[in-house]
Each structure stands twice: as C-alpha cells, then as structure tokens.
Amino acid sequence: MSLTYEIKHRNMIVRLDAEIDHHKAEEIRDRLDQLIAMNSIKVLIFDFSNTVFMDSSGIGVIMGRYKKMKQMGGDVGLINVNSNIQRVLKLSGIYRLVKNYESVQDAIKRLV
Amino acid sequence: MSLTYEIKHRNMIVRLDAEIDHHKAEEIRDRLDQLIAMNSIKVLIFDFSNTVFMDSSGIGVIMGRYKKMKQMGGDVGLINVNSNIQRVLKLSGIYRLVKNYESVQDAIKRLV
Amino acid sequence: MKFENEMKIEFDSKSQNEGFARVVVAAFVAQLDPTIEELADIKTSISEAVTNAIIHGYEMYPGKVYIYCKIVDDVIYVEIEDHGKGISNIEEARQPLFTSKPNMERSGMGFTVMEAFMDNVEVESVEGCGTTVMMKKTLLSLRATKEEACNE
Amino acid sequence: MKFENEMKIEFDSKSQNEGFARVVVAAFVAQLDPTIEELADIKTSISEAVTNAIIHGYEMYPGKVYIYCKIVDDVIYVEIEDHGKGISNIEEARQPLFTSKPNMERSGMGFTVMEAFMDNVEVESVEGCGTTVMMKKTLLSLRATKEEACNE
Ligand SMILES: Nc1ncnc2c1ncn2[C@@H]1O[C@H](COP(=O)(O)OP(=O)(O)O)[C@@H](O)[C@H]1O
Ligand SMILES: Nc1ncnc2c1ncn2[C@@H]1O[C@H](COP(=O)(O)OP(=O)(O)O)[C@@H](O)[C@H]1O
C-alpha cells in the first residue's frame, strides 16, 4: 500500500494509492479507520493526485468514511480527482454528499 | 514502427524501436534494406537509445545487415545498448563481428 | 479484410489478480490504439466484473475466473465467467445501489458502471453453476482515425 | 504458508501477440517484485518460446498458443505450448546457432537465450502434435529481501 497522510489540527489529508480496486480497498479502509480513531480526525480529505485508476470499490470506501465522519460530527472532501475517476463518482450520486475542492486550503476552509 | 534515421555522407544512424521482437524485426529489416539501397549506405549505426527490449530476433536483424554491409564493403556498429540487450548480444557471439561504440562520432571514426 | 484477434485467460479467484486482469485486457486492447478514456472505461468495467466473480461468485471459496476477449475490427467483445454461486435475480442485481454485501462496503454500483462505460452488457447466470457477463464496446477513436485517413 | 498463484492464457498465433504475451507474464510476475534484470530475463525467454510456437510450430497456419504460469513462493514456472508441427530432433534444435529457418534471418539462439536466462528449460515435443517448453526460475531478489527482513 502506498497511502501517505498528513495531519494538522484534526484535519487529515490522505494521498491514496495509484490504483484503487477491491483488493486495495480493504487495506485502505482498515488503515483509514485506524488513523481516524487514533487521531480523533474531524475533517478527512482524500487526495487523488497519485491515483490513476478507481472502480466502484472506491465509492464504497468514500461512502463508508463519509458515514463514519458524519456520525462523529466530521466531514469528508476530495481533491485532485482526475476526469476518469470523476465519471465513476458521478454515476454513484456521491457528489450530493461529498464534493471536489480546488485545494487542501479550500477544502479545509469550507468543511471545518 | 517508430524507426527514425539520419544520413550523413553515406553513414546512416538508425534509432530502433522500443521493443525488437520477431513481429517488429520483419518490418525493421525491410525498412533498413530499402534505406541502405536507396542511399548507397557505407556505414550503418544501430542506435538503441530508445530500445528497452530485444530478443534473439534482433540478433538476426543485426547479423543480416552486417553480412549485407560487409559484402558491399561497408560496416556496422552499435551505440547506446543497455545492459539487458548486451546480455542477449553476448550470448550470440556477435560481438566478435560488430562492436559497441561510445558515440556516433566514435563509431564513424573507427568504422569509415 | 477483417481484423480479428482473440484470447482467453484463466486465473485464481484471488483479489491480487484483479489488477492483473486489468493489465491483460488493457494490453490486448492496446493493439487498437484506444483513447485514454476508452481504455479507462474498459479497465473499469473489467475490474467490476472480475471483482464480482471473486467476491460474489466464489465468496471465500477458491475458484477460477475466465476472461474471453475478442477483437473484430473496431469492436471489443469481453466475457467474464465464474463457476460460482450464480445470481438468483439478475434484474434486481443490476439495479443501481443494489448489493448483497453492504457490510463489505460494496456500493452496488458495479453493474451500473459496466453499463455506463460499455455499449452493451448482458448477464447470464444459473444458480449454483455460475455467472457470465458479456460486454461489447466499439472504439470510436479507431473509426474516426480511419475516416480521416479515407478523407485525406 | 505457501504463496501460490496460477494463470493460463491462450491466444492466436499472430506475431502481434508476441508483445502481448510478454506483458501478460510480466504483469503476473510483478506480484513477486522482481528486479529489472530478472523481469528482462523472463520477458526475453517468453518472447523466444512464443515466437518459436508461432513461426516454427504453426509456420503460416493459424493456431493457438497456450501459456501456463505458476508462482510458488519465489519460484516462477512457465509452460509455453503449441499444437503445431513439433520438433523431430530436440537435441539438435537446442544447439546454439541451429535454425531451420536461416532465410527468415533466425539466429538459432532462441533456446540458448532461454537456457541462459532461466534456471531450467525442458522441451517436450511430438512430431505432428506440438511442442511444450517448460521453464523455471527462482527469484533471488525475493529470497534476499526475505532474509533481510528476518535478520532485522
Ligand atoms: N459473479 C457474480 N456472482 C454472484 N453474484 C453476483 C455476481 N456479480 C454480481 N452479483 C450480485 O449482484 C449484486 C450487484 O452487483 P454490483 O452491481 O456489481 O454491486 P456490488 O458488487 O457493489 O455488490 C451483488 O451484490 C451480488 O449479489
Ligand atoms: N515450437 C516449435 N515448434 C517446432 N519447431 C521448433 C519450435 N521451437 C523451436 N523449433 C525448432 O528449433 C530450432 C531452434 O530454435 P531456436 O533456438 O529458438 O532458434 P530460431 O528460432 O532462431 O530458429 C528452430 O529453428 C526450429 O527448427
């Protein structure tokens, strides 16, 4: 897994793997849930700048984190989503709940 | 085919394809023989700087051109051969006949 | 003359083979020079169908996933087959957001993705015997290039 | 626990599939994290055997080439099979520089390359029925990594 993250004031920015499929999704989910719990994260930003491939397993990961964060009064945002991945996300209707942002700053400003 | 070439005073430098296998070899051979005949080439330099893969089909291409050029009083040299391709060439004993050179200038100086 | 090529591949129902399956189909389709978007559509659809075979078809049991791929001119035809547990209600399964595994965080969007990204998707399934997903896509990029060549 | 994975692939005896075969095996072997040199060895050997199946096994006739690939821990096992014309004298065929197609500019180095780049190469052939080349290679890179991990 090549997931890297950065935490600032309970905001976590996670740079995801190059390919997100079912095989990777399980690892990503477990790692994220651990990081969220350990650091009492309030805002989770998924950074797709390294990600070239994502199938519907990725929707599951984002939705799952969204529900979790909302329950705890937190929120979720996305940055650097390429057009192919946007097409997958659009199909699912997830954009009604979770949005793309211009930058980390932009996301944090609007979500916190 | 991505073969490109440059001709100066009957010396021809041919930059070969990224992958040289039997599929590509036939095209490369035909193209080279056409270029050699059309331009009365004396020295043929194979430039492997773009080439990441070569199997024994490439040995056949080089040997075939070597024989042809020698018959016409010409010669053949190699430049920018990566280590994996060198290992293939070494096995065949072709280095007794055709050599690697440091640069185009070096090859032309020694072969003309 | 018709351009034709076909291949078959068979591999273990292990999740690490999902990425492998995508690479294989992408490499086979590469001979048609698809656009990046067309290639992404095909890879995503393959990924959905192969994942389904592994997690729904075989669940935790080991089995084989079969892919048959055929190119005829600018049309790509792909079949993904498993000999797993099968689908009892195909119509329901194809509904957006329907999933039998919400606890695994499946989104229920697999069939919807295939339908959106391929021109045609058919599903054949027999309970207890397995499932075959058949997909077709015409590469418009190739057709466009050919027409350009003709017009020149 | 043993790490195991296997796959089979079958494709038309067309020369454009030589590159495809290399990509497939390389993608399958990638799960073992081979070095660049190990990967080059395997790709080159696959290329030799697949080319032989196409040009010697089937000559100009259409046929199918079969690759079976198995990984057990750090050992890669590959079989390349054709149902072509077969080899009458295997010992002679394996000699360096021996080729039955010098006019096609074959170098006769195919088997020599496979033997140099893989740990073990076996050839089974029945005239009129076809040929199977079986190759094995242990990835030392992986063994080294494991030993390092143990020593830490
Ligand atoms: N190969 C298969 N074998 C058995 N059941 C399947 C198969 N493919 C799909 N299904 C069923 O169809 C449902 C919907 O599939 P899909 O749209 O891909 O969503 P998801 O995979 O997210 O559940 C699955 O939850 C499963 O019940
Ligand atoms: N799959 C095969 N079917 C039939 N004959 C084969 C096959 N593979 C190899 N041979 C025979 O063995 C010879 C030597 O093969 P090889 O060492 O690969 O050299 P090359 O392919 O350059 O001829 C070939 O020329 C051919 O006569």
Q: What is the pLDDT of residues C46-56, one digit of tens each?
A: 999 999 999 99
**B17: Cβ–Cβ under 8 A, 6 or more apart, which residues?**
B1, B2, B3, B24, B28, B50, B51
**C7/B98 Cα distance (integer angstroms):** 39
**B108/B12 Cα distance (integer angstroms):** 10
* Residue C65 in this model has a pLDDT that exceeds 70: yes
Give the Å distance between the CA of D77 and the centre of ligand 1.
34
Residue C97 in domain: yes
Query: Is C52 known to be catalytic?
Result: yes
Is residue C140 very low, low, confident or very high in pLDDT (cuts 50, 70, 90)?
confident
Using most ligand atoms within 8 A of CB, pick from C56, C83, C134 the residue to mutate for ligand 1.
C56
CB D105 within 8 A of CB B61: yes
Residue C50 in domain: yes
| Structural domain range at position A85 | 4-111
* Residue bearing tokens 């331009």: B39
| Structural domain range at position D136 | 4-147
**C100/A45 Cα distance (integer angstroms):** 29
Query: Which residues of chain B, if any, have pLDDT below 50?
Result: none
pLDDT of residue C5: 95
pLDDT of residue C142: 64
CB D66 within 8 A of CB D57: no
**A78/C8 Cα distance (integer angstroms):** 38
pLDDT of residue B8: 92
Side chain identity at residue A75, one-letter code: D
Residue C152 in domain: no
pLDDT tens per residue, range C77-132: 999 999 999 999 999 999 999 999 998 999 999 999 999 999 999 999 999 999 99
* Residue C1 in this model has a pLDDT that exceeds 80: no
pLDDT of residue B2: 78
Q: Ligand 2 pocket, D133 CB below 6 A?
A: no
Query: Which CATH number goes with the domain that contains A13?
Result: 3.30.750.24
DSSP-derived pairing of the beta strands A19-20 and B53-54: unpaired
> What's the domain count of chain A?
1
> Which tokens hold the place of D99?
């080729």
Q: Ligand 2 pocket, D67 CB below 6 A?
A: no
Mind listing the pLDDT tens digit of every residue in chain A (112 residues)? 678 999 999 999 999 999 999 999 999 999 999 999 999 999 999 999 999 999 999 999 999 999 999 999 999 999 999 999 999 999 999 999 999 999 999 999 999 8
pLDDT of residue D125: 98
Is residue D58 very low, low, confident or very high in pLDDT (cuts 50, 70, 90)?
very high
Query: Is D143 known to be catalytic?
Result: no
| H-assigned helices in chain A | 22-38, 56-71, 83-92, 104-111
pLDDT of residue D142: 64
CA end-to-end span of chain C, whole Å? Answer: 20
* Residue D89 in this model has a pLDDT that exceeds 90: yes
Backbone angles phi and psi of D79, in degrees to 5: -120, 130
Region at C94 (left for phi over 0; alpha for psi -120 to 50; beta for the rest): alpha
Q: Ligand 1 — pocket residues by CB below 6 A?
A: A 56; C 48, 52-53, 56-57, 82, 84-87, 93, 98-101, 106-111, 131
CB B59 within 8 A of CB D28: no
Half-sphere exposure of A104 (CA within 13 A, CB side): 14
> What's the domain count of chain D?
1
Longest CA–CA span in chain A (Å) reads 33
Query: Which CATH number goes with the domain that contains C99?
Result: 3.30.565.10
**Across the interface, which of B53, B83, B92 has its CB nearest the CB of D107?**
B92
* Residue D149 in this model has a pLDDT that exceeds 70: no
Query: Is C106 known to be catalytic?
Result: yes
Q: Nearest-CA distance from C131 to chain D in Å?
A: 20
Q: Residue D16 and residue C28: Cβ atoms within 8 Å?
A: no
Give the Å distance between the CA of C35 and the centre of ligand 2.
38
Any idea how long chain A is?
112
Average pLDDT, whole number, for chain D? 93
Q: Nearest-CA distance from A89 to chain C in Å?
A: 10
Burial state string for A22-46 with b = 16 or more CB within 10 A and e = fewer than 16: bbbbeebbeebeebbeeeebbbbbb
pLDDT of residue D88: 96
Q: Report, as an integer, the average pLDDT of C6-11.
A: 98
Region at A93 (left for phi over 0; alpha for psi -120 to 50; beta for the rest): left
Residue C121, number of CB atoms within 10 A of its CB: 22
pLDDT of residue B45: 97
Short-list D29, D23, D78, D56, CA closest to B56: D56
- In sequence order, what DSSP letters do the residues of chain C get, joined into one string? ---EEEEEEEEES-TTHHHHHHHHHHHHHGGG---HHHHHHHHHHHHHHHHHIIIIISTTS--EEEEEEEEETTEEEEEEEE-SS--S-HHHHHSTT--S-GGGT--S-HHHHHHHHSSEEEEEEETTTEEEEEEEEE-HHHHHHHHHHHH-
Q: Residue C8 and residue D6: Cβ atoms within 8 Å?
A: no
**C19/A30 Cα distance (integer angstroms):** 20
CB B22 within 8 A of CB D18: yes
Residue D152 in domain: no
With a pLDDT cut of 70, the percent of chain D lying above it is: 92
pLDDT of residue C125: 98
**A28/A21 Cα distance (integer angstroms):** 10
CA end-to-end span of chain B, whole Å? Answer: 28
Q: Report, as an integer, the average pLDDT of C57-80.
A: 96
Give the Å distance between the CA of D6 and the centre of ligand 1.
24
pLDDT of residue D150: 58
> Which tokens hold the place of B29?
């051979």
